[in-house]
Structure 1
Amino acid sequence: MGKQKKTRKIVEKRFAQMKKMISLNDARIKKEHRAPSKKKPEDPQKLKIREAPQASSALFFQYNMQLGPPYHVLIDTNFVNFSIKNKLDIIQNMMDCLYAKCIPYITDCVLGELEKLGRKYRVALKIIKDPRFERIKCLHKGTYADDCLVNRVMQHKCYIVATNDKDLKRRIRKIPGVPIMYVSQHRYTIERMPDAYGAPKNAV
């Protein structure tokens, strides 16, 4: 019984201390430390203003009017590595896939990523430095290519993105009118461009 009485007294003391505390809405407390005031219920009669992103002028519904030969293909780091693993010539296989002239583009951050990977990827670096590959200068800091490619594709709808990265594919699928090229079954495949050779019926 003695233990129970002791614990009861301790609990009562703590409860009394809690009661003494100033409420967070008290005027004596500084504004930044006060509890946020309760918002008034919204008037259902009031007009709601919503900001929707402006649709690109390049799109006719889901059809991208800016896509056409010669195709401009933005290449990701892992696409180059997958092409080497599957012994595929990048430009030749792109042309076989799209039946048209293709211009591969390499951004500074993709080049930086490959340089960071070290000597193991020197073959990929040698391929990328081919004069047939166009270079695009990046104005952002760091060498994280995914954000750079997504931002570039959102601004300019004239590119096809070549990547095997699942996360990057998922992000690009949310942008309407941007086809994705990737390596599958020892050849290049393109999705969201139904007239092209090797285009899958269902997106993988």
Structure 2
Amino acid sequence: MRQKRAKSYRKQLLVYHHTFKFREPYQVIVDDQIVTASNESSFDLTKGLERTLQAEVKVMSTQCCMQALYELGNQDAIYMAKQFERRRCNHNPKDPKTPIECIESIVDIKGENKHRYIVASQDVHIRRKLRRIPGVPLVHISRSVMVMEPLSDASARVSKRKEISKLYEGLNSSKKIKSKPAETKKEPEEEDKKPKQRGPRGPKGPNPLSMKKRKRETKKEVTNNKPKEEGNPNGRKRRRKHSSKSKSDSKEVDTEEKTSKAEVPESSLVED
């Protein structure tokens, strides 16, 4: 499959995904004609559908389509159709309907594709009828190549209307107003479930990275902080003087006295 075609198919599937809520794996209903065409051209139907839709696929067929294949008598086509999942159409097997009526009754439910089916059919009349229903992707084989039809006018109209409604929806839209009372009722229940706080939190401390580092105490400060000894206010120990120093001090005192006596005048001594 070419890149441009794959890109266009991806865009179409995104529209079906967002507007009509299609989900993987996609349910694909197959009619009797596409089964016979793929059998004649030896085309693998399931792989071709996965390649075009770029997703997982559930291939399904109805009892009325199987009855049409039995009437043709092509055993290879019947064997291929038996491998697919059977979708109940609730039609009487003794009085089966045509594939057009059967597929239309399954897909068209009150003007909507309720079960989100993708229809793979070679019949032009089936495709022409299903184009009137919005949200029905159509697939067919053209020259041994599986082709997905572009969006029909009905489905494009619905998607455009939905996009415009999304643009003009505001805060006071009807959907949001209805959902408000339900939210208010749920609030106390949610509060009860939450664990209660133990107590009020105090003020946060300063950032430790912004604070200055504490200075380490030097040796001098450590010595000054030591307790002082009793009897010494300065906290210093008294050192004992050496005996030699004391003797020298006493000699100096004696010499000073002698000199003082010698300096006294004789007249003062006579008067006395």
Are the equivalent residues in 2 in contact too, given 1:105–1:134 (CA < 8 A)?
yes
Are the equivalent residues in 1 in contact too, given 2:38–2:45 (CA < 8 A)?
yes
State the match for 1:122 in structure 2: 75
Moved over 4 A (4+): none
Query: Is 2:107 the counterpart of 1:149?
Result: no
TM-score (norm 1): 0.59
Are the equivalent residues in 1 in contact too, given 2:27–2:58 (CA < 8 A)?
yes
Alpha-carbon distance between aligned partners in 1 of 2:105 and 2:19, rounded to the nearest angstrom: 17
SS at match of 1:177: coil
Compute the displacement of 1:117 (Å). 1.1
TM-score (norm 2): 0.45
State the match for 1:176 in structure 2: 134
Query: Whose helix fraction is larger, Structure 1's or Structure 2's?
Result: 2
Q: Deviations over 1:120-155 (max 9, x none)?
A: x1101001111xx11012222423111110121112
Identity %: 28
Aligned positions, number: 131
Alpha-carbon distance between aligned partners in 2 of 1:190 and 1:164, rounded to the nearest angstrom: 12
Write the mapping of 1:37-52 to structure 2, written as runs, cut at 5 A: none
Aligned CA RMSD, in angstroms, stands at 2.3
**Structure 1: segments with no counterpart, 5+ residues:** 1-59, 195-204
Alpha-carbon distance between aligned partners in 2 of 1:64 and 1:75, rounded to the nearest angstrom: 24
More displaced 10-residue stretch of structure 1: 104-113 or 63-72: 63-72
State the match for 2:156 in structure 1: none
Write the mapping of 1:1-204 to structure 2, written as runs, cut at 5 A: 64-118=19-73, 121-130=74-83, 133-141=84-92, 142-155=96-109, 156-192=114-150
Matched AA of 2:129: R
Q: Which has the larger radius of gyration?
A: 2
**Structure 2: segments with no counterpart, 5+ residues:** 1-14, 153-272
Compute the displacement of 1:157 (Å). 4.3
